[in-house]
Chain A
Amino acid sequence: MAKKPATKPASAPTPKAAPVADSGPGANLQRPAAEVLYAAELDKLAERDKAQPKPKGWKLTPRSVLSFVLGDEDMGLAPKFVGSRAFLERAIVALATNRGLMLIGEPGTAKSYLSELLAAGISGDSTLTVQGSAGTTEDNIKYSWNYALLLAEGPSERSLVPAPVYRGMREGKIVRFEEITRCPIEIQDTLLSVLSDRVLAIPELDGPERSLFAQAGFNVIATANTRDRGVNDMSAALKRRFNFETVQPIGSIEDEMALVTREAGKMLARAAIPVSLQADVVEVLVTTFHELRHGKTGDGKALEPLSTAMSTAEAVSCAYAAGIHAYYYGGGDVEPAHLVQHLVGTALKDAPDDVKKLSGYFNHVMKGRKRGAWPAYYEARKHLP
């Protein structure tokens, strides 16, 4: 076992009672939607925006959406997504100027989370979601039929079962299309006319009901993961209808430390595990993820990137797993050795080249670090395969 490192209290905010405690909105849900969880914040912002001009169909002004997503200390808005303001401004303006928004990036960069927050901020509803997969059909996207009613009454609004796009157009809301590039191209392309003409044809119905015109406020946020299937598998015509934004991994180690402490803390609290993550332990974990992800150490040494993405989401689960480990098998403090063991599990899976790169990182980078938990972490390299 590694020697127990000198621990100092976390400087990053220690996980206070997370919003999902035993009371408050959505208390009994496993994972309440953002608009439920943050209902109070959204109300406050809507109040502030009452007299402000807003894009048609929006619940908030673009600026308030920005404050909601990034958080605002002065207004008492919780920090949520961590990212560059210019990036978010671009994303919001794309939606405000009626272009679709395509969020792309490595796995675990919070694309889905961000699209949820945006939908909650703009439409007050993040639930109109299409989950893309190889099996996604037009029915899942636009609408389908209740066959019993269809047979009994023929096609009518009553027998039509709306899918997210239909509802988004009718109600003037943001529709989220997750993992769009996993769908076959023909299926993706059903969005073409919806996005350019803002009208959905329903050939089965007669009269004015044959065309559903989108209410102001309707728009689409799609997400795509660049690791499993890039945006190359997307028609040029559809690409043209979206503004693309790459969601970058968190740029600053301090921000990422705060986020990992906060999120892993929430998860541990939810699992009723009274372990706290010390700042120096979080520091070595986040620094490792950060440096390996960017292929560069703090002092500019290039690293061979690993084949896994080393995402923030993985850092959070690594910290969480180490916490559980420490609680059940250790003395209750998360130690560097716990991290190393879970690093292998979460991050490396089974790529032998990655193992070599990781041990190169331990041997040539960490060796020189003498502060905080680094020496113990370096010692713990014996847990690497």
Chain B
Amino acid sequence: MVATALAEQASFIAAGASLDIDHVSHAFDIDGKALPVLDDVSITVAPGEFVALLGPSGCGKSTLLRLVAGLEPPRSGSLREDGVAITGPFPSRVVVFQDPTLFPWRKVWDNVALGLEAQGILKTQRHRVDAALELVGLSSFRNAYPHQLSGGMAQRVALARALVNDPKILVLDEPLGKLDSLTRITMQAELVSLWQRTGVTALLVTHDVEEALFLANRVIVFSDRPAKITADIAVDRPYPRHRGDAHLAELRRQILGLLGLDATW
């Protein structure tokens, strides 16, 4: 459904940008003491690549995404989008957070329109909002308020709100983490087709190893806090992938081992 909607909107999103995370370290001050969160992290993401980040909870994955989004500057190191230093938030890099954080006082349509409105181009670009809603299959809910939506629908709206800006890098922070497993499987398939059709560069944080293997070209595994890269694994399987794939199962075992969970399963 989304795939066909997207085919009609072929020019919807420009092709992805490259992302360079170059020797980035970061820390937070807690009670005057520095809490190191990222330790010399370097990742190079090619345009149009889908990279998944895996790591123990609290290791610093969300923090890294905030740095990529430009919401905070890193303590040291640098980040570049298409070779240009990232100094602040910009709508070419949009984030979908774990909580949809829709604005409850805005109807669905107005939530999706947020980015265009903030950039002052909504008047001439209203059709893009309609197209984005179409893309996530929520056109008929354009006039609903967020409290009238289910969790999955709210997360789709958040996705539409990101996509309407034609991002070059899509930053996803456990966007499916709170959904029930059925909605999650559907949304995973939709994410893949969305990414394939648009050519956007995607950076996904997830706590679900299977999800990472189902979606990404590359899976990067982090250590405990402060996060260090412990493995960078290429997932060289064609799409659409199958959850029963033997190669994926082997990778899964390997990654669980890296996360210290080899005893289970």
Q: Do A and B bind each other?
A: no
